[in-house]
Amino acid sequence: MKAVVLLGPPGSGKGTLAERLADKLDLVHLSTGDMLRDEVARGTDLGREAKKYMDGGELVPDQLILDMVGGRLTGPRGVLLDGFPRTRAQAEGLEEYTAVDAGLFLELSRDEVVRRLSSRRVCKECGANYNLLTKPPAEDGRCDRCGGELYQRPDDTVEVIARRYDVYLKDSAPLVEYYEKKGILVRVDGSRSPDDVYTQALSALGNA
Ligand code: ADP
Ligand code: ZN
């Protein structure tokens, strides 16, 4: 496969699914959110610019995203895209680099999004995700994997989560129909356990 696109609201579990799926399907996992947070942490020009949008839950402008991710789309291996494309312009831009085999839509209700994201904690060192309600770390405030400090993303506050969800509905949700029209959309129930989501996704892609 050349490219699989993950669609779904913030907090629907794209990152968690992407890691396992990429491994199994031998795809390179590209998360634009992780790439941007890395730019922010390194204090690059792009990071400084992107942070203005990210902290308020707004989308980073399409051209910045396409410039950042474009070079990673043309390697010899296929890609699993997590958090990209998020607008119609990005979806069209993507097609100039590579064909898309499938759009995998992780469905999740707004209430569940808010519940999950407000209890999410992330490792400062390795980026591992925890959830205080469903997947707490063994030791308070420390990463199980590397011992790093856990923090709450600045965009995981209740107000910014609400804004991100609205932006998702307006700009990104229409991509579901976009890929449906192309006949390459598959749906997975994102409210299930990570194992169930993974199993469903694999079989859905087998039929894609
Ligand atoms: P989530 O999916 O949980 O909202 P991400 O980590 O994917 O979080 O993205 C965090 C933020 O990074 C977004 O709210 C947005 O500001 C920015 N971002 C990530 N990917 C894109 C993209 N493809 N286009 C525009 N902005 C993006
Ligand atoms: Zn860690």
Nearest CA to ligand 1 atom 9: 33
Q: How many A from CA of 33 to the centre of ligand 1?
A: 5
- Does residue 148 belong to any structural domain of this protein? no
Residues 60-119 pLDDT 10s: 999 999 999 999 998 899 999 999 999 999 999 999 999 999 999 999 999 999 999 999
Q: What CATH number is given to the structural domain containing 190?
A: 3.40.50.300
What is the Cα–Cα distance from 16 to 7, expressed in whole angstroms?
13
- Does residue 197 belong to any structural domain of this protein? yes
- The 10 Å Cβ neighbour count of residue 134 is 12
Whether the CA torsion 200, 144, 84, 26 is positive or negative: it is negative
- Does residue 102 belong to any structural domain of this protein? yes
pTM of the model: 0.91
Ion ligand 2, residue ranges at CB < 5 A: 123, 125-126, 128, 143, 145-146, 148
- Does residue 71 belong to any structural domain of this protein? yes
Q: How many A from CA of 68 to the centre of ligand 1?
A: 13
What is the Cα–Cα distance from 191 to 12, expressed in whole angstroms?
8
- Does residue 156 belong to any structural domain of this protein? no
- Domain count of the fold of the chain: 1
What range does the domain containing 58 cover? Answer: 3-109+172-206
